[in-house]
Amino acid sequence: MSINPSKKPSPGIPCPRCNFFIEMSVQSLLYQASFQCPACFLTLSMDRNQSRPALEVLQKVNKEMENIEKHKNFDL
Longest Cα pair distance anywhere in the chain, in angstroms?
51
Distances (CA, A) of 6 to 26, 38, 42, 48: 19, 26, 32, 33
The pLDDT of residue 22: 96
Give the pLDDT confidence of 7-56 residue by residue, as tens digits: 677 889 999 999 999 999 989 999 998 999 999 999 999 999 999 999 99
- Is the pLDDT confidence value at 4 over 60? no
Q: Pick the more confident residue, 3 or 32.
A: 32
Work out the pLDDT band at 2, boundaries 50, 70, 90: very low
- Is the pLDDT confidence value at 63 over 70? yes
